[in-house]
Amino acid sequence: MNHSVGGVDLKQKSLLKVGVMDFITSTAILPLLCGCVGIFSLFKLLQRLRMKAYLRNAVVVITGATSGLGRECAKVFYAAGARLVLCGRNREALDELTRELAASQAAKVQTHSPYTVTFDLTDPGTIVAATAEILQCFGHVDVLINNAGVSYRGAIVDTTMDVDKRVMETNYFGPIALTKALLPSMIQRRQGHVVAISSIQGKISLPFRSAYAASKHATQAFFDCLRAEVEQCGIEVTVISPSYIHTSLSLNAVTADGSRYGVMDEKTAQGRSPVEVARDVLAAVGKRKKDVILADLLPSLAVYLRTLAPGLFFSLMASRARKERKSKTC
């Protein structure tokens, strides 16, 4: 009889515990979850508002603006309300882009017409004059986006030093020369943002891309140093490293003898849309991120593999080189 009573008591206590837990779950956990969701949503809203305020009316200089990622960056930054200075070697292409922007939906709320500055980054003699012209447009520069670049395909043993120098001039020396020329005005204002469009190949090196990978590794190193040196001056530095983008980069790549590659690589053809990448660039700049990798899972893992298991990474790259060399000889 006593056992029966004891069993009933235990059952009642168990039911009571379940009831208490149900009560806590319904009256405490659910509101807590709703509160967390609300706080997160508010944070995201404030982040978007802050980003819009940061970019609206900001003077944004974009190099390599006539095609590919640079062209799409021009569109998204224009839509965000930035005052643009578009740079490139082809004046006709720059004029065509400004007409396209003027005819876009963004032009209905955008009050600033873009300026264009035509110059060649590989010609050091034009940098000083181009810098003066850029500063004359709006009186200062808030954001410099170093986007212009050239790709390369070829074996090291076949590549002339002229080709190595040409790639470095376009991808490294040109951008840092323009950055150095505009930097004093940013330091004087204690305000500015320098953006380098690098590549995943600035973090890992692929076979038959030596000149390109070397230029992007140099870019990563330079702007990492710059970030540390100008932080006390209130200047932001962002390095963005995309993987393959579906642009004409591989078509216009230089080969070992300096000729045009003229082939759309399979990986490039399957790459991300430049429109999507441009939006990611806009977000990275607006959020003032320092270092951003825009790549799928495998390339991103390769970056860590290079550091954590270098022997395995080198073996994989050697295997890739053998396969690529075999496909070219077949």
| pLDDT confidence tier of residue 112, bands split at 50, 70 and 90 | confident
Q: Are 259 and 246 in contact (CB under 8 A)?
A: no
Q: Are 237 and 223 in contact (CB under 8 A)?
A: yes
Active site residues: 212
Mean pLDDT, all residues of the chain: 89
Strands 115-118 and 59-62: unpaired
pTM of the entire structure?
0.84
| pLDDT confidence tier of residue 105, bands split at 50, 70 and 90 | confident
CA–CA separation, 279 and 302 (whole Å)? 24
CA–CA separation, 294 and 243 (whole Å)? 6
CA–CA separation, 242 and 293 (whole Å)? 6
Q: Are 102 and 113 in contact (CB under 8 A)?
A: yes
pLDDT of 52 above 80 = no
The pLDDT value recorded for residue 142 is: 98
The pLDDT value recorded for residue 1 is: 46
For residue 291, give every residue at least 6 positions away whose Cβ sits within 8 Å of its Cβ, in sequence order, or none.
224, 238, 239, 241
